[in-house]
Amino acid sequence: MGSVNHWRLTVNGTEQTVSAEPGTPLLDVLRHDLGLAGPRFGCGMGLCGACFVLIDGQARSSCDVPVWAAEGTAVTTVEGLAMKGAGEAGGGGLHPVQQAVLDEQAAQCGYCISGMIMSGVALLQRNPAPSEPEVRAALDGNLCRCGTHQRIVRAVLRAAAAAPAGTTPAGAAAGGAAE
């Protein structure tokens, strides 16, 4: 292994310092150094979407981003989506996309659902009222093996309908370190 450096990362609005080699994948740092289980390892090549996080508001894979490249960005994982102080998860504290996933029962094994939620959140932030084809296109980088696609599309559309533009916490979540 090469030299270990310190990296200052802003994750879910909190600045943290981690020690890792520069080439260490951001996903590995999130899961193992920061204890965040939401982003999941699926392929290690950025091909399946299970590890999607928001980086400066854009949904993208974290398995193929080296930790050095994440410095200075705002990283949001599924754990950072729930509205702070709004109650226990499972209740009113969920982001509208998370709530819609539960309302639509939009998962089977659920291994890839956190990555899809990140894609849905990023979509609604840039396009608060997407069409169904736009939702499908936004989720095309996320693979689902259980065949839950239709429910996930419905969930994103439901979240859009439930949360008119400007009222979702997506902006805050995507901004990460939002004041």
Partner 1 sequence: MTLSPSLAANPDLHRWLSFAPAGRVTIHPGKVEYGQGVWTALAQIAAEELDVALDRVEVAPVSTDTSPDEGVTSGSRSIEDCGGALRQACAQARAAFLAAAAAKLGTGPAALAVRDGEICQDGTGTGLSYWSLGGPSLLGAAAAEGPAAKPASRWSVAGRSAPRLDLPDKATGRPRFLHDLVLPGMVFGRVIRPPGPAATLDEAGAVDLPDGVLATVRDGSFLGVLASQDRIAVAAAARLAAAARWTVRESLPDERGLKGFLLSQPTEDQAVERRDDPAAAARVRHTRQAEFSRPFIAHASMAPSCAIARWDEGADGMARITVWAHSQGPFPLRRALAAGLGLDQAQVTVHHVEGAGVYGHNASDDAAADAVLLARRLPGRPVRVLWSREDELGWGPVGPAMVARLSAGLDEAGRIQTWRQDVWSNGFLGRPGIGGTPRLLGLSHLAGAAPIPAAPDGEPSGAMGATRNAVPAYDIPDLAVTRHRLLTMPIRTSSLRSLGAFLNVFAIESFLDELAEVAGADPAEFRLAHLSDPRARRVIEEVTGFAGWAGRSPAGGTGFGLAFARYKGTSGYCAAVAEVAADTSVTLRRLWLAVDVGRVINPDGVVNQVEGGALQSASWALRERVRFDRTRITSVTWDSYPILRFTEMPEVAVRIVASDQPPVGAGELAQGPVAGAIGNAVADAAGVRVRDLPLTTEQITRAIEEA
Q: Which of 11, 70, 82, 121 binds partner 1 (CB under 8 A)?
A: 82
Q: Which of residues 92-131 bind partner 1 (CB under 8 A)?
A: 94, 98, 101-102, 105, 107-114, 117
| Number of residues lying near partner 1 (CB under 8 A) | 59
Q: Which of 18, 26, 36, 157 binds partner 1 (CB under 8 A)?
A: 36
Q: Which of 3, 85, 133, 166 binds partner 1 (CB under 8 A)?
A: 133
DSSP letter assigned to residue 108: S
Closest contact distance (angstroms) between CB of 80 and partner 1 is 9
| Residues 6+ away with beta carbon under 8 Å from 132 | 153, 157
Pair of tokens at residue 163: 């949360």
Which residue's structure tokens are 């065949």? 147
54 vs 152, beta carbon nearer partner 1: 152
Strand order in the sheet with 74-76: 14-20, 5-11, 74-76, 53-55, 58-60
74 vs 116, beta carbon nearer partner 1: 116
For the residues of 21-90, what is the DSSP string, one character each? Answer: -TTSBHHHIIIIIS---SS--S-SSS-S-TT-EEETTEEE-STTSBHHHHTTSEEE-GGGTSPTTS-STT
Q: Which of 7, 39, 70, 96 binds partner 1 (CB under 8 A)?
A: 39
Where on the chain is the footprint of partner 1 (CB under 8 A)? 1, 20-21, 24-25, 28, 32, 35-45, 47-48, 50, 77-79, 82, 89-90, 94, 98, 101-102, 105, 107-114, 117, 133, 135-137, 139-140, 142-153
